[in-house]
Amino acid sequence: MRLHHHTHPDHHPGAQPAVVVAVAIGGAGGAAARYGAERIWPTGASAFPWTVLLVNTVGCFLMGVLMVTSKLRFPGSPRLISPLLGTGVLGGFTTFSHYTDNVRQLFENGRPGYAVGCLLLTVVAALAAVTAGAFAAHFVLGRGYAAQDGTR
């Protein structure tokens, strides 16, 4: 099935070296920020992984804000801003692999309730957060969300 070409603010035609560098720098910063959060609020292998859940929720909210803001308010912003902050910082800050690894470890450590709770709660929190971030940016920037929904 060939669908129409779908443009996304994260994606640019071709891999431009400057964009790769921007994503790398942002990703390093995002990963370090997540590591900082894990050092401040460590969670054991059998405890509920609140820190990773919080990191992912905050990152999804900020991605909703960033994408809508850059589209509505800064459509002509430098082409490295979105890769740096979105794909880089927020992509490196949030983590899908630590989420799945937490779920696996909770199952293996005899905490199936926590495992299923983490599995589902993360999905709900991430989707609610990215939606809330997008709505908040639309609201603050004074445009109706329905008129400018996520399609382009």
Partner 1 sequence: MTDWLLVLAGGLAGAPLRYLLGVDAKFRLHTAFPWGTFAANASAALLLGFFSEAVTDGELGPRLQLLLATGFCGALSTWSTFSYELLTFASARRLSMAAGYLVLTVGAGVGLSFAGAAVAGAVR
Cα dist from 95 to 52, 91, 121, whole Å: 8, 7, 15
**String of contacts with partner 1 for each residue 118-147, x by CB under 8 A:** -x--xx--xx-xxx--x-------------
Q: Nearest distance from residue 131's CB to partner 1, in Å? A: 6
Residue 31's H or E segment, with its range, is: helix 17-40
Q: Residues binding partner 1: what is the number (CB under 8 A)?
A: 67
CB 117 within 8 A of CB 49: no
Candidates 34, 71, 80, 137; binder of partner 1 (CB under 8 A) is 34
Binders of partner 1 among residues 46 to 105 (CB under 8 A) are 56, 59-60, 62-64, 67, 83, 86-88, 90-101, 103-105
The torsion of the CA quartet 37, 41, 47, 51, rounded to 10 degrees, works out to -30
| 15 lies in the binding site for partner 1 (CB under 8 A) | yes
Tell me how crowded residue 83 is: count the other CB atoms within 10 A of its CB. 27
The torsion of the CA quartet 114, 106, 34, 138, rounded to 10 degrees, works out to -40
Residue 44, SS3 per DSSP: coil
Q: Nearest distance from residue 72's CB to partner 1, in Å? A: 14
| 14 lies in the binding site for partner 1 (CB under 8 A) | yes
Give me the residues that bind partner 1 (CB under 8 A), please: 1-6, 8, 10-12, 14-15, 19-21, 23-32, 34-35, 38, 56, 59-60, 62-64, 67, 83, 86-88, 90-101, 103-105, 108, 119, 122-123, 126-127, 129-131, 134, 149-151
